[in-house]
Chain A
Amino acid sequence: MLINTVVLFLRELMPVLLLLSVLLVWQRSQWRTLLLTIAAPALLILLVMAKQYTEISLWADGAGLELVYAILYFSVPVLLALALVYPRLEILLVGFAGAALFAINGSNLVLYFFVYQREASATPALLLGSALGVGIGLSVAVLLYYTLDELSRFRQQYFYWVVALLAARQSSKAAQILIQSDWVAGGPVLWDSQQLINEQSEYGQFFNALVGYEATPTLSQFVAYLLTAAIILGLSYRKGAAR
């Protein structure tokens, strides 16, 4: 129970914490506003989802949760792209992007914590596992924050490369959900790099959370990934040139 909880927490929290690190570097001067812009809508979505889990799961022939997750995943790169286009609304758009990812991963944790029925004797292991998961996740996020902070001071454009890959990761996840629900054809698996970096390993999960590493990506996922990365990078260069 303890190890399973730590692993589950890391898997769900890591993508959110890494995105949070990136967004905090992006909006370092307004970090309080950013945290509020992320937390308020995320908690609202989580509250609605937690109350309506069963109803939502019945939508779209039983693929309701997937539909909601796919929309939320796609909204992250869209909001980040808009933030690059509309600097005045940057903090709001960036915050909403963080909130969307927080809502997806948070809803899985809510499900595990509050909907899952378990014996009372499992509670200490659950709490300890959660604390360890949050602790490890936060440590990695803090390290990433300072690394990116240095990187962005050295050269801002390098920072936007990380933003682009992070945004592309969310598009790839959305595509994956649409494929497994048969709304989009996946196409062939392009390569298999499990032997190089196993997706279940610590490195595999870290790179999946940060840049969307997939050991066996399909054509559709890869196209979604590349298109998103190209759009975000293009917009960031345009923004850099306009300065």
Chain B
Amino acid sequence: MNGAKNANAGISRAASQVHRLLTEAWRLQPLYVSLYAILLSFVVGGVLISIIGVNPFTAYWALLRGMVGGGDEIAGSVARSVPFIGSALALAFAFRAGLFNIGAEGQLLAGGITAAYVGALSWMSDLPGIVAIPLILVAGTMGGAIWGGIPGVLRTKTGAHEVISTIMLNSLVLFGVRWMVNSRDPVVLRDTESTVPRTDPISDTAVLPELVDSQPTLHVGLFALLGVCFLVAFVLNRTTFGFEVGTVGLNPHASHYAGINVNRVIVASMAASGAFAGLAAASEISGTNGFFQPGTFFLMGFDGIAIALLARTNPVAIIAAALLWGSMLSGAPLMQQEADVSIDVVRIIQAMVLLFVAADAIVRYLFRVRELDQSPFKATSIEGAV
């Protein structure tokens, strides 16, 4: 009898153990959905590749080797991913405050042109690298922060929705930098000796040290952006400001009632978002290009949206998502070369990933993943209208 009791207790202990494990596993559910979404997207891409008469496994094998097939490939993939971390953080941070910052595209340009301008100033070459490099990074960050802060100010002062104002500001800065870089009469920022429109090369002292001579160059900017990811995670989870950001994102009315200065949080989050994009742009200018060309940042902001959503706006998960994104783009040329499959397949797969992550109901249905909590991308968190 005693034995039976013990056995019972043992079973229930085991059961609770299993239950605990399962609960733990379910906590990883958002990860499951992302992984399944990636898997599903590759299946769709594979179907597309077979339609054009190529064996999808050949193509994907080439893609994989292009991504991580050797030291140079890995370094190139990482290097390609670095700026995406910044542009994804730009969306993620504002998203926590309930704001939809689709202006990373413009904030990158604003940060990039500021960094290139400061980096090419004549007295920069007199400064030691230890001063010049932080200076160029801070300049880019400030440029992005100002351009990101404007929609925040407009939102608080006039109620203009940030989605619209960031779209407008994206176009404005694009025309602005195009003019600065193209114009020969008067010369604004154009390098007059260059045949293509670009700015003067930045001073040698402002160049970020190279880590690996890959294609593109892997430079120290990587650590800057990784650091920012952890910093953001810390700020959001462990500081009063981070708590305010999250509260405003959940309910601005309640936050106001609770005594949080909602306006300040909105402007600060937008400016911070812009700053991350600006930093990413500055690190690219300083570490990879050495000058500014408007085309460099094409689509980088919009890719950032996809990456941030794939990472469910978790700043640390953004690192992984950005690595996936960047390495796919970096590996695609080898796939084109070896399997003769257009690199645009990668773009389709990426769009599919975003689609399946956003419409997680599809994934949950297909893979029978239970729903634990509300998806953060349900429209409820975004108030107002475009």
Q: Do A and B come from one complex?
A: no
Q: What residues of chain B have their CB less than 8 Å away from a CB belonging to chain A?
A: none
